[in-house]
Chain A
């Protein structure tokens, strides 16, 4: 118990760092490996045999049947060898590992798929694919004739505008929600939570009817898309900023107040600067989430295939919107180009995400970036270092 006091759990890392957790190393005995390997081989052979006899084919069905067979055979084996009590534990361990495996498979598949399908397009059209636009697209246009340049410009401008609209508002709101504990703040905080998960298509409907439709033909602009994205982004930024501001040690603010500073000064000069790193992370994560949203820009951006640098007039393109449009374009090359744009989109989003992680790994109040290798040691040892 005494150890608990030596290593105080940092609120940021409560999930990953449990103070009195023993460092237990479990090695898998060789006999277990043999049992599992044997059961797996038996199951695969059995399913293959019965599929051949019954004349069924298909990788999906084969995988499912083989897995079920493996569980049954391994369960019976463990029951015979170790009894029902340990059989349950063994099967549960197996189920948990295979569940986790199933969860990680889609990510790896999606990433590999995007890299193979889209990466090749990007390389074939490099560097023109990042500069050209889709105004020259025809059903059998070569890769070198098109590019995601206009879409990149649109995404940067729309998300940038949405960031400008929402970040000050989101951070002020978050500050208020952390500092006051009345019923009003509680209600707002619940609503912010609930709105982070609201359907994206709603933002598109609202902006389309209120902003785009009254202006007839020239309503669809990058600005309208930015408004729709703002509806999505405000709750996201507020929620993350709230979490970040809440972990600033209360003692810092108390010290500022004790030194005679008024509340506004203690918030603006102590609380927010201390949370600076976390706030930057919150904003970048919000940008990454919103940059990939397709539904809000569907009716609002307009999807003009060529360059439009002015977000305030005329339809504009956008990375997710371009992917969506190319999926439904006729022509053999449409989907190939859609993968190219999707690849650019994924790269943008993942780069933002990794950057946010890197920035966020700094301690609250830190001024310089830590060396990358030190980051992980800190995670392992908590805030003791």
Chain B
């Protein structure tokens, strides 16, 4: 560890110039007014958040009062009859997000490593740019493409899994037709494509901060490149990677257009992920029914929106806290 000392010192000196020194200023009247304007405008963000939360809860409350614990025990989604079965919708949304993250994480991490360590250095800014570009392509385009291409491509393997691997509960289909396109699995697959840029860019930035001389020392001691990755880079960037994965999870939970375009939703609480009509999705339920529904039904949908919003906010805040936590020394 003593070997590391000069490095940490130098890096501290390096950044020292740009760290703002604490300055004691006597603010004049103009300064105080200016600061009040700045503080006030930043309060709008807080107000916006508070307004959204209060609004969603206020309008969703009638449904909550009517349903009570029936939210989790009811058998169907029929708000006019007082039946609110939110469990299949929530489980479906979470299943899509988890699937997407499970598929996207290994791909993103290897992309980040390829850009930073394995790929040609000259291409590095270009590849980073392409990843950012992937994040900018609108999700409706991904959804449309997924509907026509990915959904069909995964149908044959899904069919094979249903026929040969149905002893694992998730490899089943709820609706025993011959269709395998509009499933939770297809949605997760397409959402993974939209999540890859997020996890890649967060973890790539963190991995690039790994102390270079420790990496070189690992190589100099006769380690392989993979040894350097597992012993230096991954331990150093563990928090950042975890935070990036959680950010991706938040994005997957909130993904709307892909699910609306691809999923053929049902409201059955089932573990089967292949094929249509099984689980539903919160975003899809809201989009399909919101404008046409009246008082209590729209209240139920707003309640769903409230749950979705709070879940994503919590996931995102936890993600940021983890990313910003200082890394343990190697």
Chain A residues within CB distance 8 Å of chain B: 1, 4-5, 8-9, 11, 14-16, 18-23, 56-61, 64, 85-86, 88-89, 92-93, 95-100, 102-104, 106-107, 109-110, 113-114, 168-169, 172-173, 175-177, 179-180, 184-185, 187-188, 190-202, 204-206, 208-210, 231, 234-235, 238, 247, 249-251, 253-254, 257, 262-264, 267, 285, 288-289, 291-295, 298-299, 320, 323-324, 327, 338-339, 342, 345-346, 349-350, 353, 357, 376, 379-380
Contacts and interface: CB of A to CB of B under 8 A. Distances in A.
Contact of B59 (A99, A188, A199, A209): A209
Given A201-B283, A262-B30, A327-B144, A64 B110 contact: no
A206 B247 CA distance: 23
13 contacts: A16-B208, A92-B225, A99-B111, A103-B110, A180-B35, A184-B39, A206-B51, A263-B34, A264-B31, A323-B141, A327-B144, A346-B137, A349-B137
Contact of A263 (B31, B140, B212, B216): B31
B136 A357 contact: no
Contacts of A291: 138
Interface string B144-158: 110111000110110
B286 A201 contact: yes
Given A202-B56, A263-B34, A292-B137, 6 more contacts: A99-B107, A103-B110, A195-B48, A199-B283, A202-B308, A210-B55
Contacts of A285: 136
B139 interface: yes
A198 B312 contact: yes
A198 B107 contact: no
Q: Most chain-A CB neighbours within 10 Å: which of B49, B51, B154, B321? A: B49
Q: Most chain-B CB neighbours within 10 Å: which of A56, A86, A206? A: A206
B309 A107 contact: no
A208 B107 CA distance: 38
A109 B149 contact: yes
A110 B33 CA distance: 51
Given A198-B316, A205-B56, A264 B34 contact: yes
A279 to B, nearest CB: 15
A188 B39 CA distance: 10
A235 B52 CA distance: 14
B44 A169 contact: yes
A115 B34 CA distance: 50
A102 B150 CA distance: 13
B292 to A, nearest CB: 11
A257 B312 contact: no
Nearest to A212: B291
Contact of A95 (B110, B227, B283): B110
B330 interface: no
B84 to A, nearest CB: 17
Contacts of B232: none
Interface string B21-34: 10101011011011
Contact of B41 (A100, A173, A199, A294): A173
B242 interface: no
A248 B64 CA distance: 49
Interface stretch (B171-179, B250-258, B267-275): B250-258
Contacts of B225: 89, 92-93
Contact of B20 (A20, A172, A250): A250
B215 to A, nearest CB: 9
Nearest to A169: B41
Interface string B228-265: 01000000000000000001001101111100010000
Given A93-B225, A110-B137, A288-B136, A199 B302 contact: no
A251 B18 CA distance: 7
Nearest to B27: A263
Given A60-B157, A64-B157, A89-B227, A107 B302 contact: no
A57 B30 CA distance: 75
Contact of B107 (A103, A190, A205, A346): A103
B106 interface: yes
B111 A199 contact: no
A320 B257 CA distance: 10
Interface in B1-33: 6-7, 10-11, 13-15, 17-21, 23, 25, 27-28, 30-31, 33
A197 B254 contact: yes
A271 to B, nearest CB: 11
Contacts of B107: 99-100, 102-103
A382 B105 CA distance: 31
A104 B132 CA distance: 12
Given A169-B44, A199-B254, A100 B110 contact: yes
B137 A107 contact: yes
A285 B125 CA distance: 18
Which A-B residue pairs are the 6 nearest by beta carbons? A292-B138, A99-B110, A199-B254, A89-B224, A264-B34, A58-B156
Contact of B48 (A15, A190, A231): A231
B145 A202 contact: no
A254 B21 contact: yes
B320 A201 contact: no
B329 interface: no
B140 to A, nearest CB: 5
Contacts of B309: 198-199, 202
B114 A97 contact: yes
B108 interface: yes
A199 to B, nearest CB: 3
